[in-house]
Amino acid sequence: MKFRCERDVLAEALTSASRGVNNRPSLPVLSGLLLDLHGGKLRVTGSDLDLTISVAIPVDTEREGVTVANAKLITDIVRSLDPGAVMFSVDDDEASVTAGRSAFSVRTIAATEFPNLPEPSGSSVAVDAQAFAAAARQVVSAASRDQDRPILGGVQMETEGEGLRLVATDSYRLAVRDLPGVVILDDSQSVLVPAEALRNLVQLINDEDELRLRIGERDLTFELGEARIMTRRIEGQFPNYRTLIPKDHPNKLTVERGPFVEAVKRVKSVVRDSATPIRLVMKADGLELSVTTQDYGAGFEQLDAKYEGTELAVAFNPQFLIDGAEAAGGEEITIETVDNLKPALLVSSESPDYRYVLMPVRFP
């Protein structure tokens, strides 16, 4: 194998594919990237067998071939090089990387040791890449990162009316985003997708217009130009989230989103334990935010806000509050509440298809 490629193009492909590599691989060879050079294109693939990310880029080819190189090492080397052309060649069990006056050699692994990965299955359906990425970005933060709760680590994709709905929850908060007019599933069909796959997809989508989805019996594939993400579907029953969405709120607080997010970040700066709640006091003349810790001190701030309802003090996990407000978008957000124990609903007037439900935290 021997080829020439611009550093930035090669570095981006290596970085993207490396996101499919697990820090603790089940097989030693899976700590590496599969580099397959044929027909003037280099396809770079990283996989942990549950998630596979593959990216193809055009290169100036001198000799075709296939090999496996340590993902972190080869990516770090290429990213560290000066801008310009990079020469990459493989002889026997060693790869040579040169650029300008820099030269590196890296031990490689025989490509025959890399597992045979399944080909994408299912019919292909095209959707607007930017719209899907925006929706995924709004819900993935609400998915659990606890590996012992795999179902809550997924995003439920299901048909809703004449469109598609994405839902995620970690049992403390719930994010729902509708995509009207997007039809990729049958009426009764639902798919539980690992949130990590969608996080990676969002990072891959730049200015692409079209995203193609393939839904197989056990896997799901996202195809974006020359990039491809293939993931195993999560098996299991997603919680009945619909009963968690409050339908009537007597109290409504409307506040500018940007200043609100910045105020929460400032007030929570004295918090070292993420479980320490931030207290919101909602009243007719505005909003008060405060947090108190025994070891580090206290924070307090006032904000202008419009409030309709009975004066109320309610507390939330500050990071969860930030996540929801940032995902909502728009100039203003509205936080609708019943009391300090029932779920609150956060919405944006500029994004009516997004809803964020957050459980309050008890405070003394």
Domain boundaries, the chain: 2-113, 124-243, 245-358
Architecture of domain 124-243: Roll (3.10)
> pTM for this one?
0.90
Architecture of domain 2-113: Roll (3.10)
Identify which of 128, 137, 109, 95 has the alpha carbon closest to the alpha carbon of residue 10: 95
CB 47 within 8 A of CB 22: no
Record the tokens describing residue 346, joined without a space: 């956060």
User: How far is it, in rounded angstroms, from Cα 131 to Cα 136?
Assistant: 9
> ∠ at Cα 14 (9, 17), nearest 5°?
125
Identify which of 360, 15, 16 has the alpha carbon closest to the alpha carbon of residue 204: 16
Between the alpha carbon of residue 264 and those of residues 5, 141, 270, the distances in Å are 46, 17, 11
The CATH homologous superfamily to which domain 245-358 belongs is DNA Polymerase III, subunit A, domain 2 (3.10.150.10)
Identify which of 332, 289, 343, 333 has the alpha carbon closest to the alpha carbon of residue 313: 289
Return the bridge partners of 286, or none. Answer: 283
DSSP 3-state assignment of 277? coil
User: How far is it, in rounded angstroms, from Cα 212 to Cα 222?
Assistant: 6
CB 180 within 8 A of CB 161: yes
Record the tokens describing residue 275, joined without a space: 């479980």
**pLDDT per residue as tens, the chain (364 positions):** 999 999 999 999 999 999 999 988 989 999 999 999 999 999 999 999 999 999 999 999 999 999 999 999 999 999 999 999 999 999 989 999 999 999 999 999 999 999 999 888 888 899 999 999 999 999 999 999 998 899 999 999 999 888 999 999 999 999 999 999 998 888 778 999 999 999 999 999 888 899 999 998 899 999 999 999 999 999 999 999 998 888 888 999 999 999 999 999 999 988 877 778 999 999 999 999 999 887 788 999 999 999 999 999 999 999 999 999 999 999 999 999 999 999 999 999 888 899 999 999 987 6
Record the tokens describing residue 64, joined without a space: 């075709």
Q: Is beta strand 173-180 parallel, antiparallel or unpaired with respect to 190-194?
A: unpaired
CB 7 within 8 A of CB 82: yes
Instruction: Tell me whether domains 2-113 and 245-358 share a fold.
Output: yes
Name residue 124's amino acid.
S
> For residue 207, what is the DSSP state?
S
